[in-house]
Amino acid sequence: MTTHLKLLKTFLIFLFVLSTQLANAFQQPSKITTVTVYLDGAEINREASLKINSGKSEITFNGLSPFVEESSIQISGLKDASILSINYGINYLSKQKQSDSILALQNELKHLDSKIQYQYDLIAGYNEELSLIQSNKHLGNETTVVSLEKLKTFAAYYRTRITALRVAINKSNLEIENQQTIKTNIKHQLAEFNVEEKTQTGEIKLTLNSEVALSLDLKIKYNIKHAGWVPIYDLKAEKINNPVSLEYKAHVYQNSGCDWTDVALVLSTSDPNTNNEKPIVTPKYLNFINAYSNYQSQRAIRNYNFKYNPSVNTITGIVTSSSDGTPIPGVSVIEKGTSNGVQTDFDGKYTLKTTTGNALVYSYVGMETEELPIHSSIMNVTLDDISTLDEVVVIGYGTKATSSSSVKAKSIQNMIDEDFDDDPYIETENYTTNGNIIEEGITSISFKIDKKHSIPSDGDISVIEIDKYNVPATYNYFAAPVLNENVFLTAKIGNWEQYNLLPAEANVYFEGSYSGKTNINPSATTDSLTISLGVDPNIVVKRTQLNNFKRTTFIGSNKVIQKAFEIEIKNNKQTDILLTVLDRIPKSQNKAIKIDNIETDNSSYNDTKGIMKWVINLKSGGTKNVKHSYTVKFPKDKRVNL
């Protein structure tokens, strides 16, 4: 009896300990309250209220994204409890919750499958009846003669019934075809929602220890992938000499596996995935290169601020040479990680539809290969000649490759920027015009959106307004017929730093109509930002080479080539215009090549850069001609890239 009592007592103690352990191990729901969306990735802030007993407690936060970066998990609000361990894992048995719209479509698919199966069953029954009629259509036998009346009755029955059955079969087949069409459309819609049959979810297992029972309001913070935001701008100019309306928007996307429902949203210009390791400069040693040397020119990592834009489906652009700005035909443009690619045409233009890649790779024989993230539907690229790359210069906050050819490529844009007066400084506030809070950190800027948002985990774009500005701008018409014979209307914005802009695509509207797209690049080192508002076809510019100057002579061992060009401008608009025209005189990089007899007409000539600038007031219907010429002398056994 005593033994039985001891066993019972031991069993009760075991049950008590087991129940205590079970009580201190539980699953805890949590709610997303705030999301900070980076240019690539996002920080999730969750909250959970719970009670723990004294001793060790094991809490599981389930239903999380399967793309959590484990090293970023932070827990706060512990009071006197201490953390024994934090573990993150994937639960392959827990199914991700789909949105109501997706569930409705999936249920509709199941309903359609049932309806299609019902029609197949009807067809099977009709075919069985046809088979039965076919096998019993013989009337009478060798000894029995069927009367004519019975024969007519049977014939009418067979004809009527077989016809009805075949009509019914055709009707069922038609119904199946209609249901299959609806089913295909629903599948396409689910594909648009980026629905994947994933079952795994993320889980954080937190083990705490406490001397006493506690009520905790825990805050869980972690970073995830498969989310981000892309800036987009709307530029609206109603009339020349009026301020430009600049609408700053964000395209927010996420496919993290968890919907963000009614959350406080913060948009940050930071990118936690950027390589933050500063470069180390080591000595560079020079030596002679022989025929067997495997030498490749080195250049610094480019300082690009472009980020992948998942909403871009088709890309167009022009590939040009940095040495002279001319288009390069035959450049290979490949979507990285795929076989999808095209080559540029005779004018250096290309068009490519994207598939699954995030970047484009541009390659050409004799040129440095360039790789850029797919960030815009217009991607114009300049390739450097391998032979013209100079030394690498290390600068603050990054590295940049410099060469004399790249300086020349930028000179035209600098001349445009110098053509405008600086705009007056406009004082900024800590709030946007939409009421969003601007927080400026040491290395990034954050926009706290004043209204809560719900963003489903379907990869689709949600457009969120960040700010709106009326920007003072100086308008000018611009043409560089040596590169492009179109005339562009430009608007120049001074003190653009105050607007917290990022490199991005802009939709341009002029005089109330959509006029195309352009790119805004605030990363330029100029004091102002020049934006192209589109091509004006009512102003015609034509650059021609004068034949009477197109001749070559020989003086001793040298060849002398004479070049002359005429630029004709005609204003077909109903109003007078102010037009800036740029052209260039080549500059020699070799003392054996001499540029002489330079005639620049009445232009403002920058002898250092070789750039000519005409500022022309042209009346409505008026025309203007400007000319320039030069001679090039070099050894006759050499060739020059004229």
Average per-residue pLDDT in the chain? 80
* % residues pLDDT > 90 (the chain): 33
In this structure, the dihedral spanned by the alpha carbons of residues 128, 132, 133 and 134, taken in order and rounded to 10 degrees, is 100
pLDDT reported for residue 214: 92
Higher-confidence position of 14 and 313? 313
The residues, ordered by sequence, that sit 6+ positions from 120 with a Cβ below 8 Å of its Cβ are 172, 176
Question: Greater confidence, 443 or 452?
Answer: 452
- 118-132, 480-494, 608-622 — which one is most confidently predicted on average? 608-622
Strand partners, 488: 478, 535
- pLDDT at position 579 is 92
420 compared with 138, residue with greater pLDDT: 138
**Residue 582 clears pLDDT 90, i.e. is over it:** yes
Per-residue pLDDT of 602-613, as tens digits, reads 899 998 889 999
Q: What percent of the chain clears pLDDT 70, i.e. is strictly above it?
A: 78
Q: Are the C-beta atoms of residues 362 and 379 closer than 8 Å to each other? A: no
Strands 539-545 and 359-363: unpaired
Identify which has the larger pLDDT, 337 or 12: 337
Backbone φ, ψ for residue 171 (5° rounding): -65, -40
Kind plus residue range of the DSSP H or E element containing 158:
helix 148-192
CA distance 337 to 344: 20
Other CB atoms within a 10 A radius of the CB of residue 32 amount to 19
Q: Which pLDDT score is estimated for 543?
A: 93
Per-residue buried b or exposed e for 413-432, using 16+ beta carbons within 10 Å of the residue's own CB:
ebbbbebbeebeeeeeeeeb
Q: Please, which pLDDT band fits residue 346 given cuts at 50, 70 and 90? A: confident
In this structure, the strands spanning 381-383 and 314-321 are parallel
- Mean pLDDT for 111-128 is 89
Q: How confident is the model at residue 419 (pLDDT cuts 50, 70, 90)?
A: very low
* Rounded distance between C-alpha atoms, residue 266 and residue 279, angstroms: 31
Instruction: Give the residue carrying structure tokens 């019914």.
Output: 168
pLDDT at 552: 72
Give the residue with greater pLDDT, 424 vs 484: 484
Buried b (16+ CB within 10 A) or exposed e, 524-557: beeebbbbbbbebeebbbebeeeeebeeeeeeee
Question: At 517, which amino acid appears?
Answer: K
Strand 528-535 with 513-520, pairing: unpaired
At 595, list the tokens.
């540029």
pLDDT for res 416: 42
- Which residues have C-beta within 8 Å of that of residue 141, sequence separation ≥ 6? none
Token duo for residue 108: 């509709």
Q: How confident is the model at residue 397 (pLDDT cuts 50, 70, 90)?
A: very low
